[in-house]
Amino acid sequence: MREEKITIRDVKCNYKVKGNGEPILILHGWGSSSDSWIKVQHILSEKGYSVFCPDLPGFGKSDPPLSPWTVDDYKKWAVEFMKAFNIDSFILIGHSFGGRISIKLSSEENSPVKKMILCSPAGIRVKPDFKTDIILALGGIGSTLLDIFSPKFLKDYLRGLFHFLIRKRDYVKAKGVMRETMKLVISENLFPFLSKIEVKTLLLWGKKDKMIPLRYAFVFKKEIKDSSLIIIEQSGHSINIDDPVRLAKEILKFL
């Protein structure tokens, strides 16, 4: 496996590549890096694929973008990354945040994506359940009370705690340009793009996923025309870490 640096769109990025054959691009999740995909990358490369796994800008060993990026910015970056290796079409694997990028990339006309694997992809909003409605309502009330009665240091601390409790830990951890990037990324609902996806798609979901619950999988399955769904019983949000061998096996079977 080679690990090297490349500059794309004025951002110096780290990437890993292994194998020879049909190209595969892996896009990791928010707060993760190419390191979390090493086992899967190794298995796929051993089966005759050339597997590229970059640290997306702002993650791992890659520099952050110079200004806040949208999902479209990451989409354009991914295309330019592959073109740097003279690759105009490829198989795409996207996990969580990488799934957001993959949705945008596969739904456009003349997409470079030949086939797609989405692992617990993020990016769509459906009607919240009752519990989520209550949490968000309490959060709104709490924010108003904080503005009225609390000193700034306490407000900042309690807001951070609230974001943590409703699983926005990534937002709490993000700093500077990446915090602003996250705001832009999560503000876009990609649901309308699902029906535009024409490429054959495999959906893989951990049954124990608490970050993006299994109910979202059935929305993706319904909206993406040529899609199939496999549920991994013992996995959570990160199947690539929980069960990389099973994940690679299902990807190879699909391909």
pLDDT in tens, 187-202: 999 999 999 999 999 9
- pLDDT, tens digit (0-9, with 9 covering 90-100), for 211-241: 999 999 999 999 999 999 999 999 999 999 9
Q: Which pLDDT score is estimated for 144?
A: 54
- Round to whole Å and give the CA distance between 250 and 255: 9
Decide if pLDDT at 168 tops 70: no
CATH topology of domain 2-125+189-254: Rossmann fold (3.40.50)
Average of per-residue pLDDT across 229-254: 96
Decide if pLDDT at 53 tops 90: yes
Matching residue, tokens 């951070």: 160
CA-angle at 120, arms to 114 and 123, nearest 5°: 85
Residue 13: Cβ-neighbour burial (10 angstroms; 0-12, 13-18, 19+): buried
Decide if pLDDT at 169 tops 80: no
163 or 123, which is more confident: 123
* Cβ contact 78:55 at 8 Å: no
Decide if pLDDT at 175 tops 50: yes
Decide if pLDDT at 155 tops 80: no
Sheet with 2-8, side-by-side order of all strands: 2-8, 11-18, 49-54, 22-27, 90-95, 113-119, 200-206, 227-232
Question: If we measure between CA atoms, which residue out of 34, 39, 17 comes closest to residue 87?
Answer: 17
- Say how many C-beta atoms besides its own lie within 10 A of residue 24's C-beta: 24
- pLDDT, tens digit (0-9, with 9 covering 90-100), for 94-143: 999 999 999 999 999 999 999 999 999 999 986 555 554 454 445 445 54
Averaged confidence pLDDT in the chain: 87
pTM value is: 0.84
Domain ranges of the chain: 2-125+189-254, 130-181
